[in-house]
Amino acid sequence: MRLKRITIFGFKTFAERTDIDLRGDLIAVVGPNGCGKSNIVDAILWALGEPSPKHLRAQTTTDVIFAGSARRRPLGYAEVTLVFDNEDGTLPVPTAEVVITRKATRAGEGSYAINRQPCRLRDLYDLLADSGLGKSGYAIVTQKEIDQALAASPEDRRAWVDEAAGVQRYRQRKHESFRRLAAAEDHLARIKDILHEVEQQREPLREEAEKARRYKSAADALREVECGMLVVQVADLVREMEAAEASLQRLAHTLTQDNGNAVELEGRIATTEAKRRKLEEELAAIRAEQHRLSTGADRCEAQQKLNAQRLRGLDELEATLREDATRDERRQGEAAREVEEREAELKAARETLERVRSETAGAGAQADAVRRELADAEKALAAARETHTRIAKERAEADHRADRLKEVMRELAGIERAMPDLVAAEQEAKAALEEQEARLQADHDQAAAARGELRRLEAAEAEEAQTGRSLATKLASLEGRHRAIEHTIETHEGLNHGARAVLDAAERGVLSARYTPVAEAFETDRELALAIETALGAAANDLIVADERAAREGIEFLKRERAGRATFQPLTLIRPSPPNRELSALAHRKGVLGRASELVRCRKEHEPVAESLLGRILIVETLDVALELARTTGWSRLVSLDGEVVHSSGAVTGGTTGKPTFGMVQRKAELGELEREMKAIQQSLAKLAKAGKERAAAKDAARNVIQEAERAAQEVQRQVAEAAKWHREVHHELESTQKSALRLTAERERLEAAAGTLPDLPVLATLESARDDILKRLAGLSADADLAEERLKDAEQRLAQAEMLLGQATRRLEAARDGEQSRARKLASLGPERDQLKQANEELEKESEAFRNQRKSKDAEYTGALERRKALEAAIESGAEDLKKCRERIQAATEASHQAELTRARSDARRASVAQRLLEEYGVDEAAAIETAPHTVVPSDAATVVGRLRRELREMGDVNLGAIEAYERLTQRAGELVGQLDDVDASIAQIRASISELDKLTRDRFEDTFAQLEVAFTEMFDRLFGGGSGKLSLSKPDDILDTGIEIDVQLPGKKKQKLELLSGGERSLCATAFLFALLRVKPSPLVILDEVDAPLDGRNVERYADMLRDFSSTTQFIFITHNPTTIEAAHIWLGVTMQEPGVTSVIPCSVPVEPSGQRLFQME
C-alpha cells in the first residue's frame, strides 16, 4: 500500500488547492524554515483522524483553517484528501484505491469520508487499525517523538510494540468486551431487580384488576345510560329552542299589531288634542271678550266718576258766582248811592257856584298878596284835589281789580282743585295706554315664544319618543343577552368537564377549598378579550387555589367521582418568571400593546398566576407586527388582537373555526361592556322619562300661555283703543284747563302787581280851611270882587270835582252791572253743561249695564266651553289610558320576547354544554345525537339505574382502572424479564469466553512479535552504531498482557548507561534503531519522519540514509529534512516555499538516475 496523492485546500497556509503526487518510495520535503513544510505532515496527520488540535500545533479546530494574509481573505473551511494505492489489500476495503477525506468549517462542523462516502471517526480508526497508520502507531514520527520513545515509561513504549504485533485491535476488543461485560452484568442486576419488583407489584394488582373489571362493566353500563340520556336531552333542548323561536315569532307578530294599535291611539289622541286646543282658543276668545266687557264697564264707571267730579266742580263754580253776584249787588247799591251822593254834591257845587258868582266883587290892591297866597293855596288845593281825584279813581279801579282778583282766585282755586284730578286722570290714561300697549306687545311676544317652544317641544317629544322606543328595544335585547351570559358564567359554561365538576362540588360544599377559574379571575377590555383568551388557551380552564392541599383535594375528588381531569394553580407553588429587560423594551415598540399579564386586571393574590401564564406573551395589534417581531427578536409567543398566534418555533396559528365561540374571558368582557351600555341606556331612558314629564308640563304651560296671551292680546288690543280715546279726551280737557289756568294765573299776577298800597287822600278839608282862612284874610284885605272871584273859581273847581266823582261812581256802577251780566251768562251756561253731564252719566250707566249683561252672557258661554273642554280632556284621558294599556301589552310582549330569548339562550347554552359533554366524554357530535335521539331508548327508570350504578361505583371506592392493563402488562413483563435474564446470562458467558480468547491471542502475538523485535533491535542498533549492544526486555515477564518494554544499550567503547544519560544524537540513533526494528518486524506502508535526522552528524546521517534506502522496498518514506545527505537519498523532492507571503506553494521535483550514475533534474 502506498500514498499516491495528497490534496490540500484551506489547511493552515495552503490558501489554494494543492495536489501533491507521491509516486516514489523516498520523498524528501525541503524548504526554508517557516515556509509550511510541517504543515504537510500536519495535514496528513489531521486527515488520518488526529482528534487533538494541540498535536497539530493549534488551539482549536478553526485554527487549522487558512486565516488570511495581507492579500487574501480568510477561508471558510479546510479540506485534506489522501489517496492510497490498495492493490495489495492492506486496508480492508474491496477497492484498489482508497480515498480518505476530512473537512472542517469555521462554524465548528467537521466531516469524514472514505471513498467519498460520509463516515464516522470510529470507522476511520477501524479502517487504519493494524496498518501502522493507527492513532497509536509509528507511521508519523517527529524529532520530539523520537526522543519521547526513549523517555517514555515501559508501559507507554509497549504501545508501539502492540501496534507492530497487531494486538491493538485485540486490546480494543477486550476493552469493549469488558465494557459490554460490565454493562451486561449491570443489565442482569437490573433485570433481577426489575423482576423482583414486577413480582411484588403483580400479586396486589390481581385483586385490583378484578375490581377494575367489575368497575369497568358498571361504568360502561352507566356510560351507555348517561349517553342515551344526554342524547335525548340534546334533542329536548333543541325542541325547546324551536318552541322558543316560534314563541318569539308569535310575540313579534303581537308586537307588530300592538304597535299599530298604539300608533292609531296616538293619532286619535292627537286629533282630540287638536280639538281641545281649538276649544282652548275659543275659551281664550271668550275670556278676551269677558275682559273687554269688564274693562268697558270699568271705563264707564270711571267716566261716571269723572263726570260726577265735573258736576261737583260746576256746583262749586255756581256757588262762587252766586256769592260774587250777592257781593256785586251790594257794591252796585253802594255805587248807586255814591252816584246819588255825587249828583247831590254836584248840585250843591253848582248852587254854590251860582251864589258865589252873584256875590263876587272886585278886589283891592291889598289883597294881592293874600291873593298870591291864596293862589298858592289854591294851587295846593287844586293839586290835592287832582291827587284826590286820581287816588279815588285808582281806589275805584283797585276795588274793581280786587273783585276781579277774587273772582280769578276762585276760578283758579276751582281749577287747582280739578287740576290734580285731571292730571292724574291724564297720567292714568297715558299710563293705562302705555301699559296696555306694553301688555299687548308682551302678549304677542309671549304667544310667539310659547308657539315656538311648543313646536320645539313637540318635535323633541316625537324625536325622543322614537329614541325611547329604540333605546327600550335595545335595552331589552341587552338585558336578554346579559342574563344569558350571566347564566353561562354562573353555570361555568365553556370550562372543561373536570373544572365544572370541581366548581359544582365546591358550591355544594362537598369540597371545602375555594376554587377560582383562571378565566373568571382575569378581566380585560373588550377589544383585548380575544387576544387574552387566545393567549391563555387551555389554561383558561385552570383553577386557582390557595395551596397544594386544595389542589390535592380537587384531584382526589375527580379521581373518586371519575369526573374528568383539571389543572390547578396553587398560589404557594407559582413562581413567575423574573422581569425581562428585553420584554420591557419591546413593550414600547410601535404596534405592541404590552405584555399580556399587564393587560389583565385581577386580585392582588392572583397576580403571580397572571405573570406565570401570561408574563412571556406579548399582545400586538396585527399579525404583521407579530411576524416582524418574530423575525427580528425571536420572542417566545406573540398574539394579535384578532387571535393570531406566532409560536416560538415559528409556527403561525390563525383563521376561523366557522361558528364563532366565546370563552369565559370574552364573555366577562362582553358582560362588563353590556352592563356599561345598559347603565348608559337606563340613564338615558330615565332622562327621557324625566324630560318627557317636564316637557308635558312645559307643553301644557306653553298652551296655557298661548291661550292666555292670545286672549289677553285681544282684550288688550281693545283696551288699547279705548285707553287711547280716553287719553285723548282727558288730554284735551287737561290742555284746555291748563290754558285757562295759565290765563287766569297771568291775570292774577297782573292784578296782584297792579294792586299796591294806594296813597292816602290829601286832607282837603285842612287845605280848604287854610284856603278859607286866606280867603277871610283876603276878604279882609281884598276887595269883595276878588273874594267873590276866588269863591267863584272855587265853586267851579268843586263843580268839576263833583262831576269827576260822579263819572267815577257812574263807571263803577256800570262795571258792577257788566259783572252781573257776565255772571248771569255764566250761571246760565252752567245749567246746560250740568244737564249734558247728567245725560252722559245716564248713557254711561246704560252702557255699563249693557256691558254687565253681555258679561253674564259670555260667562254662560265660557261655562259651556269649559264643560266641552272637560269632555275632551276626559276623552284624551281615556285614550291615554287605552294607550297606556296598549303600551303595557307591548311591554309585556317585549318582556315575554326577552324571556323567550333568554329561554332560547339558556337552552342553547345547555345544549352546547350537553353537546360538548357528549363530544368530549362519548365522542358523539350534536348532529348525530339529534339524528339518533328518536331511536334512542332510555329506560323509564334511567335516573334510578344511574343512581344505582353510581352508588355501586362509589361503594367500590378508589378503583385503579389501569390495574387490568397493568396486571396483564406486568405478567407479560415478568415473562419477558425471565427470557432476558437467560439471554443476559448466556451473553455474559460468551463475553467472558471471548475475553479469554482475546487474551490468548494477544499473549501469543505479543510474545512472537517481541521475540522478533529483540533480534531486529539488536541488529539495527549494531548497524546504526557500528558496534555496541542493544537489548529489549520485559518489565513484567510473568504478566505478558500488562508488561512494559525496557531498553538496555551499551555504546561501542562505553559502559552500559541509562538512556537519559545519552547525548542527543545517541538518543536519536537509539530511537531510530527501535523504529527500524519495528519496521523490520511489522513494516508500515507509510512512514513520515519530521526532521528526525537533525541531531545526527555526517556518518550517522549516511547510516540513517542507507537504512531509508534499505527499507524503502517495503515502506514509503516521506521525510522533512535539511540535511543534504538525506535529501540526496530521496527519489522525489517536494520543494516547499512561500512565493506569496503567508501562502505555501509546493514544487515537486523527480530525480532520475542515469546508468552512468549521473543525476538529471526535471522540474514539474
Complete DSSP assignment for 564-621: ----EEETTT--PPPP-HHHHHHTTSTTEEEEGGGS-B--GGGHHHHHHHHTTEEEES
pLDDT at position 405 is 59
Q: What is the mean pLDDT of the chain?
A: 77
Q: Is 813 a residue whose pLDDT tops 90?
A: no
367 belongs to a structural domain = no
* Residue reference for cell 316625537: 462
| CATH code of the domain in which 557 resides | 3.30.70.1620
pLDDT at position 115 is 92
Residue type, 687: K
Max mean pLDDT among 7-11, 1092-1096, 1100-1104 falls in 7-11
* Residue reference for cell 267873590: 788
225 belongs to a structural domain = no
Of 960, 981, 989, whose CA–CA distance to 196 is shortest?
A: 981
Q: Is 476 a residue whose pLDDT tops 80?
A: no
DSSP collapsed to 3 states, 460-476: HHHHHHHHHHHHHHHHH
Q: Is 77 a residue whose pLDDT tops 90?
A: yes
pLDDT at position 192 is 82
Distances from the Cα of 479 to the Cαs of 475, 482, 706, 1010, 1086, in angstroms? 6, 5, 43, 104, 96
pLDDT digits (tens, 9 = 90+) for 104-133: 999 889 999 999 999 998 888 888 876 767
Distances from the Cα of 409 to the Cαs of 451, 734, 1025, 1050, in angstroms? 60, 19, 190, 190
The confidence band for 408, taking pLDDT boundaries of 50, 70 and 90, is low
511 belongs to a structural domain = yes
Three-point CA angle 1018, 1024, 1026, nearest 5° = 85
Per 3-state DSSP, what percentage of the chain is helix, strand, and coil (rounded to 5)? Answer: 70, 10, 20
pLDDT at position 100 is 94
Share of the chain above pLDDT 70, in %: 75
pLDDT at position 1144 is 92
* Cell numbers describing residue 307: 263726570
Average pLDDT over residues 667-671: 73
* Cell numbers describing residue 142: 517527529
pLDDT at position 393 is 66
Q: Is 79 a residue whose pLDDT tops 90?
A: yes
592: β partners: 620
Distances from the Cα of 169 to the Cαs of 135, 275, 478, 999, in angstroms? 12, 127, 87, 12
139 belongs to a structural domain = no
Is the pLDDT higher at 544 or at 664? 544
Q: Which of 27-41, 278-292, 987-1001 has the lowest mean pLDDT?
A: 278-292
Q: Report DSSP state, residue 736.
A: H
Burial class from Cβ neighbours inside 10 Å (0-12, 13-18, 19+) for residue 429 reads buried
Average pLDDT over residues 687-695: 77
pLDDT at position 662 is 58
506 belongs to a structural domain = yes
Q: Which distant-in-sequence residues (6+ apart) come within 8 Å of 213 by Cβ?
A: 964
pLDDT at position 960 is 74
Q: Which residues of 437-476 are buried (b: 16+ CB within 10 A; e: fewer)?
A: bebbeebbebbeebbebbeebeeebeebeeebeebbeebb
> For the sheet containing 1086-1090, what is the strand order?
140-142, 1086-1090, 1116-1120, 26-30, 1132-1140, 1143-1150, 1162-1163
Q: Is 243 a residue whose pLDDT tops 80?
A: yes
Average pLDDT over residues 1039-1046: 80
pLDDT at position 772 is 63
Q: Report DSSP state, residue 938.
A: -
Average pLDDT over residues 721-744: 65
**Distance (Å, rounded) from C-alpha 336 to C-alpha 349?**
19
The confidence band for 718, taking pLDDT boundaries of 50, 70 and 90, is low
* Residue reference for cell 291775570: 747
Max mean pLDDT among 728-742, 817-831, 1072-1086 falls in 1072-1086
Q: Is 785 a residue whose pLDDT tops 50?
A: yes
Average pLDDT over residues 250-262: 82
Q: Which distant-in-sequence residues (6+ apart) come within 8 Å of 421 by Cβ?
A: 306, 309
Q: Is 363 a residue whose pLDDT tops 50?
A: no
pLDDT at position 353 is 64
Q: Is 413 a residue whose pLDDT tops 90?
A: no
pLDDT digits (tens, 9 = 90+) for 874-886: 888 888 888 788 8
Max mean pLDDT among 367-371, 640-644, 946-950 falls in 640-644
Q: Where do the DSSP E strands lie in 589-748? A: 592-595, 617-620, 637-640, 645-646, 652-653
Is the pLDDT higher at 303 or at 597? 597
Is the pLDDT higher at 362 or at 1061? 1061
The confidence band for 1051, taking pLDDT boundaries of 50, 70 and 90, is confident
Average pLDDT over residues 589-605: 86
Contact 802, 346 (CB under 8 A): yes
Average pLDDT over residues 332-342: 71
**Distance (Å, rounded) from C-alpha 35 to C-alpha 57?**
15
Residue type, 897: S
pLDDT at position 659 is 41
Q: What is the dihedral of CA 145, 151, 155, 160, to 10 degrees?
A: 30
**Distance (Å, rounded) from C-alpha 755 to C-alpha 753?**
6
The confidence band for 424, taking pLDDT boundaries of 50, 70 and 90, is low
pLDDT digits (tens, 9 = 90+) for 840-853: 878 878 888 887 88
Q: Which of 361-365, 916-920, 1026-1030 has the lowest mean pLDDT?
A: 361-365
Between strands 97-105 and 110-114, the pairing is: antiparallel
Residue type, 521: A
**Distance (Å, rounded) from C-alpha 37 to C-alpha 1135?**
9
Between strands 1045-1050 and 1056-1057, the pairing is: antiparallel
596 belongs to a structural domain = yes
Q: What is the dihedral of CA 812, 814, 817, 823, to 10 degrees?
A: -80
* Cell numbers describing residue 672: 362588563
Range of the domain at 604: 495-630+638-662
267 belongs to a structural domain = no
- Looking at the structure of the chain, the number of domains it has is 1
1153: β partners: 1159
868 belongs to a structural domain = no
* Residue reference for cell 401564564: 613
